[in-house]
Amino acid sequence: MMGQRFLWLLWAYTYCWSPGFCGKVVVWPTDASHWINLKVLLEELILRGHEVTVLVPSTNLLIDYQDTSSPFTFEVLQVPFTQETLDAIMEDFLNTWLNEHTKLSFWEVLWKVRKDLEVFSDISRMTCDTLVLNPQLMAKLQQAKFDILIADPLAIGGELVAEILAIPFVYSFRFSVGNMAERLCGGLPSPPSYVPASMGRLTDRMHFMERLQNFLFYLYSDYFYLDHWRDKWDEYYSDILGRPTTLCETMGKAEMWLIRTYWDFEFPRPFLPNFEFVGGLHCQPAKPLPKEMEEFVQSSGEHGIVVFSLGSMVYNLSDEKSNIIAGALSQLPQKVLWRYKGRKPETLGSNTRIYDWIPQNDLLGHPLTKAFITHGGTNGIYEAIYHGVPLVGLPMFADQHDNIAHMRAKGAAVELDFGTLKTQDLVDAVNTVINNSTYKENALKLSRIHHDQPVKPLDRAVFWIEFVMRHKGAKHLRPASHHLTWYQYHCLDVLAFLFTCAAIAVFILVKCCLFCCKKCGRITKKKKE
Ligand SMILES: *[C@@H]1O[C@H](CO)[C@@H](O)[C@H](O)[C@H]1NC(C)=O
Ligand SMILES: *[C@@H]1O[C@H](CO)[C@@H](O)[C@H](O)[C@H]1NC(C)=O
Ligand SMILES: *[C@@H]1O[C@H](CO)[C@@H](O)[C@H](O)[C@H]1NC(C)=O
């Protein structure tokens, strides 16, 4: 194994000697689960001989820039907010979505989304300021002569830095609310009749009311974001770049959009040549489990195990919720491995073990794994697809409802409402996905689709990043729609012209008829006389 790795590296470095292949990559930071995913891609770039520099805020959630074993070079941005502030923001965010959102109406939820967005936007702004208003640091980055910048459109600022440095940039991300950034800024065609808006919780089969809802959601998210960005970002971008511009226009300059889904998960939809769907790039074959864990898994016998995690952000629940969940798990014939950091629930059964951290990918790939209870984050969903494990979804926020809606539509998941969860619901749901073999069959079908690709997602993502470095961009993939106004894009000007022509033609025709009729009338009158 080690030898193989060494040969690999040797091969990579040999390749590097051909000029222009090994590049210098700079990364605008993105945090939480986005970082977990991006890190895999960056590590692969390192393996292929590229240099990777990560700009990192001194206060963040998951990027450990003091880790000396990290293969990345870190450039720390001294941001003015403290860890306590950031943790408090995250706690407030999670508390709303875990404990309060069921009490809120639809409009209150939208209002809350806007408030959260403003808070995160302010954090991005402070992070941006520490870099673009610091001439020494900017000069240092200029001198480093990077070939490419990798960013996430949800962590605003990357595109601005790329513009200042005059280098091409590539996006890596999952979605924006209502797909607004992809549609309006990236030009991705998304007919509202069958492409469900992100966070709308719909599938590609919509009846009239759902299509209406989807259409309105598109309109709303466009208005919502453009309005928010106009307030917060457009002037800032114009000031820094010294010409009138907008955030959306700057985003539209991305050479490639690497989207973290694929056709195993995504509903078929139109896309552009500069959009690549690389979902599951972080997935790997399962490695052996730690000894103690393997023994516990083996003790489950023919019933197998259930893996339970609510993701990297949610690690504590209210006592009430944790007791409901533990009570349900205790009724299962399977052994359960639960990733949980909160207080040990009283109802915890002898078949359930709590871990601070679990090797999730290795557990999902274990032959004894029967089901995965998940919050529905994209990373976990893809690990389940990769290994063909049916799901019980407990979605809470962000794209989680959507993700579970997709997996439900594909017949590989049962969804539960986290807010109103009852012990029996969870027991029934887990029994259903395990007893009823259709869930496992559908999960295996998705897994086969996922594995049967000409080029693996990670290789495709790396290929496009290297492509952009080699060719200093990918402008040949950029649709001309970026040069059109919205009414030109929808051909409203053409329709208006045709309509006017038709109206004039009808008008002339009617006039002619009237004229003729009058003439005829006069002639017949004369004849009668
Ligand atoms: C988890 O939450 C409970 C109540 O919500 C609290 O009492 C407990 O201290 C928290 N534990 C941790 C580790 O944060
Ligand atoms: C499903 O399996 C569980 C445990 O194996 C069992 O207790 C339950 O009765 C089964 N339910 C159905 C409907 O077969
Ligand atoms: C299994 O689940 C599928 C999909 O929900 C359902 O159509 C089917 O009737 C179920 N089979 C049994 C035996 O319950």
**Centroid of ligand 2 to alpha carbon of 431 (angstroms):** 6
Ligand nearest to the CA of 438: 3
Contact yes or no for 410/393 (Cβ under 8 A): no
Q: What average pLDDT is seen over the chain?
A: 90
For ligand 2, is residue 435 a contact (CB within 6 Å)?
A: yes
Whether the predicted pLDDT of 235 surpasses 50:
yes
Give the pLDDT confidence of 483-520 residue by residue, as tens digits.
999 999 999 999 999 999 999 999 999 999 999 888 88
Give the pLDDT confidence of 9-39 residue by residue, as tens digits.
555 555 555 544 689 999 998 888 889 899 9
pLDDT at 2: 46
Residue with tokens 């907010």: 81
pLDDT at 399: 84
pLDDT at 440: 97
**Centroid of ligand 2 to alpha carbon of 333 (angstroms):** 9
pLDDT at 455: 94
**Centroid of ligand 3 to alpha carbon of 438 (angstroms):** 7
pLDDT at 9: 53
Which amino acid makes up residue 335? K
Q: Residue ranges of the domains in the chain?
A: 2-190+245-281+456-482, 291-451, 484-516
Nearest CA to ligand 3 atom 5: 411
Query: Averaged over 225-247, what is the pLDDT?
Result: 93
Query: Averaged over 410-433, what is the pLDDT?
Result: 94
Ligand nearest to the CA of 428: 2
User: How much of the chain exceeds pLDDT 90, in percent?
Assistant: 69
Instruction: State which of 87, 314, 343 you would mutate to test the pocket of ligand 1, scoring each by most atoms of that ligand within 8 A of its C-beta.
Output: 343
**Centroid of ligand 3 to alpha carbon of 465 (angstroms):** 44
Nearest CA to ligand 3 atom 10: 436
Angle between helices 400-409 and 378-387 (to 10 degrees): 30
Give the pLDDT confidence of 127-145 residue by residue, as tens digits.
999 999 999 999 999 999 9
Ligand nearest to the CA of 435: 2
Identical fold at 2-190+245-281+456-482 and 291-451? yes
**Residues, the chain:** 529
445 against 225, higher pLDDT: 445
Contact yes or no for 469/48 (Cβ under 8 A): no
Residue 355 and residue 199: Cα distance in Å, rounded? 31
Residues with beta carbon inside 6 Å of ligand 3?
436, 438
Burial (CB < 10 A; 0-12, 13-18, 19+), residue 248, is: buried
| Distances from the Cα of 28 to the Cα of 7, 78, 134, 146, 222, angstroms | 31, 14, 16, 12, 25
- From 240, 270, 188, select the one nearest 478 (Cα to Cα): 188
User: How much of the chain exceeds pLDDT 70, in percent?
Assistant: 95
pLDDT at 522: 77
Residue 350 and residue 319: Cα distance in Å, rounded? 19
DSSP 254: -
- Window from 167-171, 288-292, 341-345, 384-388 with minimum mean pLDDT: 341-345
pTM of the model: 0.88
Angle between helices 32-47 and 457-471 (to 10 degrees): 70
pLDDT at 396: 86
- Window from 81-95, 200-214, 406-420 with minimum mean pLDDT: 81-95
Reported as a pLDDT band with limits 50, 70 and 90, residue 1 is very low
Query: Averaged over 337-360, what is the pLDDT?
Result: 92
Instruction: State which of 392, 415, 438, 440 you would mutate to test the pocket of ligand 3, scoring each by most atoms of that ligand within 8 A of its C-beta.
Output: 438
For ligand 2, is residue 431 a contact (CB within 6 Å)?
A: yes
Ligand nearest to the CA of 94: 1
Find out if CATH 3.30.420.40 is the number for domain 2-190+245-281+456-482: no
Pick the CATH number of 291-451 from 3.90.400.10, 3.40.50.2000, 3.30.830.10, 3.20.20.370: 3.40.50.2000
Query: Averaged over 150-173, what is the pLDDT?
Result: 94
Which atom of ligand 1 is closest in space to residue 318's alpha carbon? 5
What backbone phi and psi angles, to 5 degrees, belong to 309?
-150, 140
